[in-house]
Structure 1
């Protein structure tokens, strides 16, 4: 097997059940919020906040982003490097043109 003890597995299951419960509660809150008498801007803002919390829970626990911080930071660093390179490519191409 992979070397996980029974206690580790039970702990993981408890975390996943807790996240599932939080997502279920937030879904009920989302449905309840739809019945509130809010303006469209307020309703949109509330929906975005609830969706952001739910998305953070899903990404953090089910996609293991909270437990693999070094890998996430390495990928983000590499992404930032390529973003900078791609942003400066047009500038470098513009400065490389010869004036005739």
Structure 2
């Protein structure tokens, strides 16, 4: 069973986006957890994973709307590469 442990989160491009939109970067450690017997588990490190999520907050409680999600397991893009990707796919997102 693959387990994801959240190790960091941050909001990207906050001042450059239209009001209500957010780009959130989350970093996870990934582990493969295997039962060895009734009392023990083996945990194997599977590296890290970075998830970039574009969300819209319409302003009401508990109502974030996920616009898009990008996952990076190997090399994460630089912020400028990520910004270019988001500008191509979501032209109206940036002010």
TM-score by length of 2: 0.23
Q: Which has the higher strand share?
A: 2
Which protein shows a greater Rg? 1
Q: Which has the higher helix share?
A: 1
